Amino acid sequence: MGSVASLAQRVEQAVGTAIGAVLPDRRDADPLVRRSDRPGVDVQSNAALSLAGAAHRSPAQLAGQLADRLGGVATGLPGAVSVTGPGFLNVRFDDAALWGQVAARLADDRLGVGTPQAGVRAVVDYSSVNVAKQLHVGHLRSTVIGDALVRVLGFLGAEVIRENHLGDWGTQFGMLIQYLVEHPEAPWQHDRLAPGVTAVSALDALYRSARAAFDADPAFADRARRRVVALQSGDPDTLDRWRQIVTESQHAFQQVYDRLGVLLTEADAAGESRYNDALPGVVDELVRREIAVPSHGALCVFDPAFTGHDGAPVPLIVRKSDGGFGYAATDLATVRDRVDRRRVTRMLYVVDARQGLHFRQVFAAARRAGWLPDDVHAEHVAFGMVLGADGRPFRTRDGDTARLSDLLDEAVASARRVVLAKNPAISGAEADRIAELCGIAAVKYADLATSRQQDYRFDPDRMVSFTGNTGVYLLYAHTRVAAILRRAGAPGESAAAGAIGGSDRAGEPAAFPAPDPAVPVAPAERALILALDGFGEVAADVAALLEPHRLCGYLYELARAFTAFYESCPVLAAEPPVRGNRLALCRLTRRTLAQGLALLGLPAPDRL
């Protein structure tokens, strides 16, 4: 079935048409339709105020003319129009139109949400962790935000390619491999490790030892340098060891991805090493076209747009003075590959805000080189830091960056306390299961719910709270709606809902009739319907602005609107046809919550 325009969108359309009729030369003007909280008004258009000057009449006059048009037959306006104040055009939706939206959305697998991203082919570069290193708290944001964007873009019709741009190449591997060669007794492969120790934590520790040896022992440093050369020149034994390190690391990362419930698999890995062979060509071409120039023995791109504090241009180093290619060269090769071979039209880089200058420089250089055509969008989806409870960058007690898995364990432990306090009678195994589900959801939600540009404090106790804008609150809100539907005897309502493209309407019986449009809409119902009707617009905003927190805020408001509705409008105790209409609202709320949670990468259990 097709997409369902929201009532607000229909007003936008109608006001747009009226503007075209009254002021033909301004027919493309923004109808400026907004939600209104004035009593008796659902949406208002401020178009008359902004257009009056150019139209040489007063805003009130223009508003009156537009209202006359809108009040006419067959304008498609789903409500009654009035003019107030200096020239506000107000619309109050008809009750039948409100129920009509509920019916149309319920009848559609996709809740009437359209596919505004159809035709877009996007690559999302996210997680992008470094091999042989532990996942730390900084990787949480890229992984969770990137995954939500993958899901939202996909739901809205884009073709999405996930890329985990693993940091799997560099001179550090030479040093690590040399150390492993000289210490064959040190265990690091997963089948040789104690339970609870992952290959990456073992490798991370071994890397530190290697680093210490490198600094302390010039002979080892020499052997390590020779190992780097062996790696770069493709020595089979060295490459073999390197491959093992990558494989073991990926295996460890996958455990965290699975625990987090993100979509990434090993097949999504497209590490830096993959672009090695392309680097000389990339740099040669930049040099040949005089985009990159020699500077202090290195090859750099200078762009007057990027200057430092002293006004001097900041170089983008594509080849270092030791002849090695750097991070920038790899990213340029990646851009070229994504455009030429992957044929993407949109590239998202979900990476720490501190890399902002790097990406601006890379995109600018790629545009100069013609590798990034104007019609391909490249966006750095920058995010802020995760801070500790003290508001400082997150550190462990010994000053290390906090391990992601430790933070997840902490949140799960907090969730377990909350769950047991709420329901002391449950078994230990049951408490464990619910705590894992709620703890992980709480961490993901807390991350997604803060606008990504901001830093936030990692506060497990607040994240797992049952009240406020938390993931746990939303999961429980979903279970409450599901419980009402169960009590109403809704077969099929217990099926997992909200899966992308999935439908839970199979087997939904005639006992659930379409809402009766003649039933008057109570105020709390009106607020809930308007919230439900806005889901698709919020999803489209998330895809356009790449800001998942908008969806979090929306779902929180939706859950609150449902609570207010449920407190003032009895559902199961109501008589038909009111009962049927209220059940329709419950069904649509449940499916919208479940779909929204799914887009954030969160589960929507029917019970907890």
- The least distance separating ligand ARG from the CB of residue 125, rounded to whole angstroms, comes to 5
Using the contact rule CB under 6 A, the part of the chain among 123-131, 205-213, 446-454, 462-470 near ligand ARG is: 123-131
- Spatial contact of 149 and 379, defined as CB atoms under 8 Å apart: no
- The least distance separating ligand ARG from the CB of residue 320, rounded to whole angstroms, comes to 17
| CB of 167 or CB of 174, closer to ligand ARG | 167
- The least distance separating ligand ARG from the CB of residue 263, rounded to whole angstroms, comes to 17
- The least distance separating ligand ARG from the CB of residue 276, rounded to whole angstroms, comes to 15
- The least distance separating ligand ARG from the CB of residue 395, rounded to whole angstroms, comes to 18
- The least distance separating ligand ARG from the CB of residue 427, rounded to whole angstroms, comes to 41
| CB of 131 or CB of 412, closer to ligand ARG | 131
Q: Which of 44, 45, 128, 238 binds ligand ARG (CB under 6 A)?
A: 128
Question: Measured at the alpha carbon of residue 82, what is the angle toward residues 81 and 83, in degrees to the nearest 5?
Answer: 135
Q: Read off the tokens for 29.
A: 């003007």
Residue 514 has φ and ψ, to the nearest 5°, of -60, 150
- The least distance separating ligand ARG from the CB of residue 248, rounded to whole angstroms, comes to 18
Using the contact rule CB under 6 A, the part of the chain among 38-46, 72-80, 125-133, 420-428 near ligand ARG is: 125-133
SS (H, E, C) 429-454: HHHHHHHHHHHHHHHHHHHHHCCCCC
- The least distance separating ligand ARG from the CB of residue 61, rounded to whole angstroms, comes to 56
CA distance 517 to 520: 8
Per-residue binder mask for ligand ARG (CB under 6 A), 312-351, x = binder: -------------------x--x--------------x-x
- The least distance separating ligand ARG from the CB of residue 317, rounded to whole angstroms, comes to 14
| CB of 156 or CB of 175, closer to ligand ARG | 175
- List 167's β-bridge partners, or say none: 130
Instruction: Please count the residues of this chain forming the interface with ligand ARG, following the rule CB under 6 A.
Output: 9
- Which residue has tokens 């993931």? 471
| CB of 22 or CB of 351, closer to ligand ARG | 351
CA distance 492 to 496: 9
Residue 38: CB atoms within 10 Å: 12
CA distance 53 to 72: 25
Per-residue binder mask for ligand ARG (CB under 6 A), 81-120, x = binder: ----------------------------------------
> In one letter, which amino acid is 324?
G
Using the contact rule CB under 6 A, the part of the chain among 122-130, 340-348, 371-379, 538-546 near ligand ARG is: 122-130
- Spatial contact of 321 and 290, defined as CB atoms under 8 Å apart: no
| CB of 202 or CB of 329, closer to ligand ARG | 329
- The least distance separating ligand ARG from the CB of residue 138, rounded to whole angstroms, comes to 8
Q: How remote is the C-alpha of 187 from its chain's centroid?
A: 37
| CB of 70 or CB of 123, closer to ligand ARG | 123
Cβ-in-10-Å burial (0-12, 13-18, 19+) of 241 comes to: buried
Residue 168: CB atoms within 10 Å: 23
268 in contact with ligand ARG (CB under 6 A): no
Q: Which of 363, 342, 341 is nearest to 351 (CA)?
A: 363
- The least distance separating ligand ARG from the CB of residue 433, rounded to whole angstroms, comes to 33
Q: Read off the tokens for 501.
A: 């493209």
CA distance 168 to 206: 16
E strand or H helix at 350:
strand 346-352
Q: Read off the tokens for 171.
A: 């001179």
Q: Which of 146, 154, 167, 548 binds ligand ARG (CB under 6 A)?
A: 167
> In one letter, which amino acid is 446?
A
DSSP state of 314: P
- The least distance separating ligand ARG from the CB of residue 361, rounded to whole angstroms, comes to 12
Report CA-CA distances (Å) from 77 to 9, 84, 519.
Answer: 10, 18, 20
| CB of 17 or CB of 142, closer to ligand ARG | 142
| CB of 35 or CB of 354, closer to ligand ARG | 354
* Residues 6 or more apart whose Cβ sits within 8 Å of residue 57: none
Q: Which of 121, 128, 126 is nearest to 149 (CA)?
A: 126
CA distance 556 to 548: 13
Q: Which of 165, 403, 550, 590 binds ligand ARG (CB under 6 A)?
A: 165
Q: Collapse the DSSP code of 82 into the 3-class scheme (helix H, G, I; strand E, B; otherwise coil) and give the result.
A: strand
| CB of 363 or CB of 458, closer to ligand ARG | 363
* Residues 6 or more apart whose Cβ sits within 8 Å of residue 548: 145, 148, 149, 152, 448, 452, 542, 600
| CB of 315 or CB of 580, closer to ligand ARG | 315
| CB of 125 or CB of 204, closer to ligand ARG | 125
Using the contact rule CB under 6 A, the part of the chain among 124-132, 484-492, 552-560, 597-605 near ligand ARG is: 124-132
Q: Which of 90, 101, 130, 589 binds ligand ARG (CB under 6 A)?
A: 130
| CB of 57 or CB of 452, closer to ligand ARG | 452
- Spatial contact of 387 and 342, defined as CB atoms under 8 Å apart: no
Q: Restricting to residues 511-570, which ones interact with ligand ARG according to CB under 6 A?
A: none
- The least distance separating ligand ARG from the CB of residue 401, rounded to whole angstroms, comes to 12
Q: Read off the tokens for 317.
A: 């180093």
Q: Which of 125, 447, 504, 547 binds ligand ARG (CB under 6 A)?
A: 125
| CB of 337 or CB of 504, closer to ligand ARG | 337
| CB of 57 or CB of 139, closer to ligand ARG | 139
- Spatial contact of 497 and 594, defined as CB atoms under 8 Å apart: yes
CA distance 324 to 207: 21
User: Which residues sit at the interface with ligand ARG, rule CB under 6 A?
Assistant: 125, 128, 130, 165, 167, 331, 334, 349, 351
